[in-house]
C-alpha cells in the first residue's frame, strides 16, 4: 500500500516538473474563442478565420488599426471612383513590388481570377459571393498589367470599401491548369445556369471543393507575410513568417510581419483562457469579462508582465421595439418604454462601467459626428407613466389598459434575446424589474440563435435586445433603418422610418462634404431619439491584456483589437 502511494507521488512530481510549457521570445501566443470553420478565403464566415486570413492573404484595401483609417494594402493608393449614369467605375493599381510566395508578381489577372472564383456557381463561395455581386465586370488596363477597373452597378458610398475588401487569390496556385481563363468575368454576372454545365468550371469545382482549399497550408498561400504552417484541429493554428517578404521593403506602416511565429490556441472557456494568460501561456487575451478585468487591474504580479487596454469599441447594445405592433405604434408609448430602461445601472452591472452611454447610433468616440446637444432618456418611472397616459393607456391596480377597436387590451411586453448571452439576459431582467415598478408585466424569453434570427426576420417579436457592430468609416444606415428594407425578411427589423427619415438617410449617403455630413448625422440622431424605436443603450469598451514584451501593438476598438503582425519585441 505504501509503495503505491510513493509511486503515485513521484509520478505526480515528475508530471509537475514537465508540465510547464515554455514561451519562445519571437513567438506570439493568442487565444481563439472558437475554431474557424474553414480558412477558405472565398467561403470563410467567422471572425477567427478573418483574423488568420488577414495574416496570410491581402485585400486591396483595409483598415489600419493604428488610426482606424482605410488604407491601401495591395493597392498602390486609394481607388479612383467615377460615376457615369447608373454605372460606377472603380480603378485600382496594384503595388509593383507585390509578390506571391513563389516570387511572381501580383497582377490584374489574379484579381480577375479571384472575382471568377467568388462569383462562379458550383463552388464553395456562398459566404463571400453576395458581397461582390455588385461588381459586374473587370476591365484590365492594356498598358499596365497591374491596373484595372471594376465596373459596378449603381452607386452606394460603401462601394469603395467593399471593392477592396476581399482577399486576392493566387491564380498560379489555385488554378494551375488555367481552367477558369476561358470564362470572362462578365459571363458570371447574369444567368448562371448556362455555366453549370461548363466542363472547365466543373473540373475546377472538383478541385476547389476539397478539404485542401479549406485547411492546407501548401495551397492557402497569399501575398501577406505569413504561411499557414500547421492546423491541429480543435487545438491550435500555427503561422510562420515568410523569408524575405516583399512587404518589408515598403515604406507603408500598415504592411508588417514582425513576429517570426504566431500560435493561435483554441480555448472556448473564458476561465481557462484567463488562467492560461496568468500562467504566461498566452501573450494576448481580448474579451476579458469585466469583473475579472477589474481583478487583474489590482493584481501586481500580473501587471508586472502585462499591459491592460480599454479602447472604445464600435459595438453597441440596443433595444429594438417592433413599431408595427398596434400597442407600440404610438411614439409616446415607445418613449415611455425608453424611460424604463435603466442604462447607467445596466452598464454598471453588465459591463462594470466599461461602456459609454450613447444618445443614438453614432458612436460617442467619433466626435465629429456625435450629437453632444442631445440628452439620452433617463430612467424615470414618473415620466414613463405620464407618457403612457398621454398615449391613451389608463392605469388600474393590475396594470395599464386601453380600449382599441372596441376591445380592451392590457399593456404587456415580451422581451427576447439570443440565448447564451449573460449580458443580454441581465439587461432584460433589469428592464423587467424596472417595468414592474409601474405595473407593466414583462416576460423575458431567451431564444436559441437560429430561432431568434428567424423571428427577427419575420418581425414576430415585441422588444428585443441585441448587439450591433459598426465601424468608424461608413455611416450608411439604409439596411437597418430605411423603409425599403422593412418588408418581411428585410434587415430593418424594428420597422423604423418614414419618408422624412428615408430622405435623411439618403442625404447622409450622398453627402460629400464632411461638415454637411456631420449636420445631417446630428439631425438623424435627433429624429431617432424622438422616434424611440431603435434605442441605443451604450457603446462597449473592449477589455484586453497584452504582454509587455511587445510594443507597436496597434490596440484599437476595431476587431480583432490588435494587429499581431505589427508586434515588435521590446529590447
Partner 1 sequence: MRAFISDIAYLLRTKWSFRLAIVYLALLTGLVLLLPLLPLPFSPNELNLQHAFQKPFTNPTYILGTDQLGRDVLSNLLWGARNGLFIAVPVMLLSAVLGTAVGAVAGYFGNSKWKLTYAQVLLILVTIPIVCYYLIHLPMQVVLYSLPGKVAGMAIVAGLALSAILWLIIKPLLNNLMRLRQTIAIPVDGIALRLIELLTSIPRLILLISVAAFAGPSLWLLSVILICTFWTGTARLARAEMLRIVQLPYIEAAISTGMKHRRVILKEALPNLLTPVIVAFVFGVASLLAVESTLSFLGIGLPATHASWGRTISSIRLNLSAWWLVALPGGFLALTVLALQTCSYHLIRLSQQK
Partner 2 sequence: MLQQPAIKRLLVAIPVIWFMVSAIFLLSRLLPGTYGETQLLSPEAGFYGKSLQTDRTAAYQQLLQRTGQDLPLFYISIAPLSEVHTATTFSYLVPDLEWHGTRNQYHHWAAALLTGHLGVSFTNSQPVSALIADAAGNTFLILLVSMVLTSVLAFYAGIAMVQDTGKKWRKPMLALLVLLDSIPLFVLCLLLLLLLANPDAWQLFPVFGLGLNLHDTQSNWVTQASYMVLPVACLVLANLPYLTNQVYTSLTGTLQAGYIKTARAKGLPHAKVVTRHALRNALLPVITTLSDMLPALFAGSVVIETIFAIPGVGRLLVSSVLSRDFPVIIGIVIVVALIKMVSHIVADVAYSAADPRIRARTA
Q: Which of residues 44-63 bind partner 2 (CB under 8 A)?
A: 45
Considering only residues 246 to 275 of the shown chain, the ones binding partner 1 according to CB under 8 A are 270-271
Q: Where are the beta strands (DSSP E) in 25-141?
A: 27-32, 61-64, 69-72, 80-84, 87-93, 135-140
* Residue 121 contact, options partner 2, partner 1, none, Cβ 5-8 Å cut-off depending on partner type: partner 2
Among 467, 483, 551, 552, binds partner 2 (CB under 8 A): 467
Q: Where are the beta strands (DSSP E) in 193-338?
A: 226-232, 236-241, 261-266, 284-285, 306-309, 312-321
450 makes contact with partner 2 (CB under 8 A): yes
Cβ neighbourhood burial of 259 (10 Å; 0-12, 13-18, 19+): buried
> In angstroms, what is the minimal distance from the CB of 427 to partner 1?
11
Collapsing DSSP states into helix, strand and coil, what is residue 297?
Answer: helix
Among 105, 289, 357, 376, binds partner 1 (CB under 8 A): 289
- As a dihedral over the C-alpha atoms of residue 218, residue 224, residue 225, residue 227, rounded to 10 degrees, the angle is -20
> In angstroms, what is the minimal distance from the CB of 419 to partner 1?
6
Which residue lies nearer to partner 1 by CB, 372 or 422? 422
Q: Rounded distance, CA 476 to CA 289, Å?
A: 31
Residue with cell 505569413: 226
Quick one: which segment of 109-117, 137-145, 382-390, 472-480 binds partner 2 (CB under 8 A)? 472-480
Among 139, 349, 356, 374, binds partner 1 (CB under 8 A): 349
* Residue 551 contact, options partner 2, partner 1, none, Cβ 5-8 Å cut-off depending on partner type: none
> In angstroms, what is the minimal distance from the CB of 466 to partner 1?
16
204 makes contact with partner 2 (CB under 8 A): no
- As a dihedral over the C-alpha atoms of residue 499, residue 504, residue 507, residue 511, rounded to 10 degrees, the angle is 180
Among 272, 345, 353, 570, binds partner 2 (CB under 8 A): 272
Considering only residues 274 to 303 of the shown chain, the ones binding partner 2 according to CB under 8 A are 275-276, 278-279, 281, 301
Q: What is the DSSP letter of 246?
A: G
Helix (H) or strand (E) holding 249: none
Instruction: Write out the three cell numbers for 548.
Output: 509587455
Q: Rounded distance, CA 202 to CA 139, Å?
A: 25
189 Cβ contact list (under 8 Å, min separation 6):
119, 136, 137
Site string for partner 2, 122-161 (x = CB under 8 A): x-x-xx-xxx-xx---------------------xxx--x
Q: What is the DSSP letter of 190?
A: S
174 Cβ contact list (under 8 Å, min separation 6):
113, 117, 208, 213, 219
* Residue 460 contact, options partner 1, partner 2, none, Cβ 5-8 Å cut-off depending on partner type: none
Among 9, 206, 326, 451, binds partner 2 (CB under 8 A): 451
Quick one: which segment of 26-34, 172-180, 289-297, 316-324 binds partner 1 (CB under 8 A)? 289-297
Residues in the chain: 571
Sign of the torsion formed by the C-alpha atoms of 286, 288, 293 and 299: negative
448 makes contact with partner 1 (CB under 8 A): yes
Count the residues of the shown chain that bind partner 2, applying the rule CB under 8 A: 84
The footprint of partner 1 (CB under 8 A) covers 270-271, 289, 291-292, 295, 342, 345, 348-349, 419-420, 422, 425-426, 428-430, 432-433, 443-448, 450-451
Amino acid at each position: 500500500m505504501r509503495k503505491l502511494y510513493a509511486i503515485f507521488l513521484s509520478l505526480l512530481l515528475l508530471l509537475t516538473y514537465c508540465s510547464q510549457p515554455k514561451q519562445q521570445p519571437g513567438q506570439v501566443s493568442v487565444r481563439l474563442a472558437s475554431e474557424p470553420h474553414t480558412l477558405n478565403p472565398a467561403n470563410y464566415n467567422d471572425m477567427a478565420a478573418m483574423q488568420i486570413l488577414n495574416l496570410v492573404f491581402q485585400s486591396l484595401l483595409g483598415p489600419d488599426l493604428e488610426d482606424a483609417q482605410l488604407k491601401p494594402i495591395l493597392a498602390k493608393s486609394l481607388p479612383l471612383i467615377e460615376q457615369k449614369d447608373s454605372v460606377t467605375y472603380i480603378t485600382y493599381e496594384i503595388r509593383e513590388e507585390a509578390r506571391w510566395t513563389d516570387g511572381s508578381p501580383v497582377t490584374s489577372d489574379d484579381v480577375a481570377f479571384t472575382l471568377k472564383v467568388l462569383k462562379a456557381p458550383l463552388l464553395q463561395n456562398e459566404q463571400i459571393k453576395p458581397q461582390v455581386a455588385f461588381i459586374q465586370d473587370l476591365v484590365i488596363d492594356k498598358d499596365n498589367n497591374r491596373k484595372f477597373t471594376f465596373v459596378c452597378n449603381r452607386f452606394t458610398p460603401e462601394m469603395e470599401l467593399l471593392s477592396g475588401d476581399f482577399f486576392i487569390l493566387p491564380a498560379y496556385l489555385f488554378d494551375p491548369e488555367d481552367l477558369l481563363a476561358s470564362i470572362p468575368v462578365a459571363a458570371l454576372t447574369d444567368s448562371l445556369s448556362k455555366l453549370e454545365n461548363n466542363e472547365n468550371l466543373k473540373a475546377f469545382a472538383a478541385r476547389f471543393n476539397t478539404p485542401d482549399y479549406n485547411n492546407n497550408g501548401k495551397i492557402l498561400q497569399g501575398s501577406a507575410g505569413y504561411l499557414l504552417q500547421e492546423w491541429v484541429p480543435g487545438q491550435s493554428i500555427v503561422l510562420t513568417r515568410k523569408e524575405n517578404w516583399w512587404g518589408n521593403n515598403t515604406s507603408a506602416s500598415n504592411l508588417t510581419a514582425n513576429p517570426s511565429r504566431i500560435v493561435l490556441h483554441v480555448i472556448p472557456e473564458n476561465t481557462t483562457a484567463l488562467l492560461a494568460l496568468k500562467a504566461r501561456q498566452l501573450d494576448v487575451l481580448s474579451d476579458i469579462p469585466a469583473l475579472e478585468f477589474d481583478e487583474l487591474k489590482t493584481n501586481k504580479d500580473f501587471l508586472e508582465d502585462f499591459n491592460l487596454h480599454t479602447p472604445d469599441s464600435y459595438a453597441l447594445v440596443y433595444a429594438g421595439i417592433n413599431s408595427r405592433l398596434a400597442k407600440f405604434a404610438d411614439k409616446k408609448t415607445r418613449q415611455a418604454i425608453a424611460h424604463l430602461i435603466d442604462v447607467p445601472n445596466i452598464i454598471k452591472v453588465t459591463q462594470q462601467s466599461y461602456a459609454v452611454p450613447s444618445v443614438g447610433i453614432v458612436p460617442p468616440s467619433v466626435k465629429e459626428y456625435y450629437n453632444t446637444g442631445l440628452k439620452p432618456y433617463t430612467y424615470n418611472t414618473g415620466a414613463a407613466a405620464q407618457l403612457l397616459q398621454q398615449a391613451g393607456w389608463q392605469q388600474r391596480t393590475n396594470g395599464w389598459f386601453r380600449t382599441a377597436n372596441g376591445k380592451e387590451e392590457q399593456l404587456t411586453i415580451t422581451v427576447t434575446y439570443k440565448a447564451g448571452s449573460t449580458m443580454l439576459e441581465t439587461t432584460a431582467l433589469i428592464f423587467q424589474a424596472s417595468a414592474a415598478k409601474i405595473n407593466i408585466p414583462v416576460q423575458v424569453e431567451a431564444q436559441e440563435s437560429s430561432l431568434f434570427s428567424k423571428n427577427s426576420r419575420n418581425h414576430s417579436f415585441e422588444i428585443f435586445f441585441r448587439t450591433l457592430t459598426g465601424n468608424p468609416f461608413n455611416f450608411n444606415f439604409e439596411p437597418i433603418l430605411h423603409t425599403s428594407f422593412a418588408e418581411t425578411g428585410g434587415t430593418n427589423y424594428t420597422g423604423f422610418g418614414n419618408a422624412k427619415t428615408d430622405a435623411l438617410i439618403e442625404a447622409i449617403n450622398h453627402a460629400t462634404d464632411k461638415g454637411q455630413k456631420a449636420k445631417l448625422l446630428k439631425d438623424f440622431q435627433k429624429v431617432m431619439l424622438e422616434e424611440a424605436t431603435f434605442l441605443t443603450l451604450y457603446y462597449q469598451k473592449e477589455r484586453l491584456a497584452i504582454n509587455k514584451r511587445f510594443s507597436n501593438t496597434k490596440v484599437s476598438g476595431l476587431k480583432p483589437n490588435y494587429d499581431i503582425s505589427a508586434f515588435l519585441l521590446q529590447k
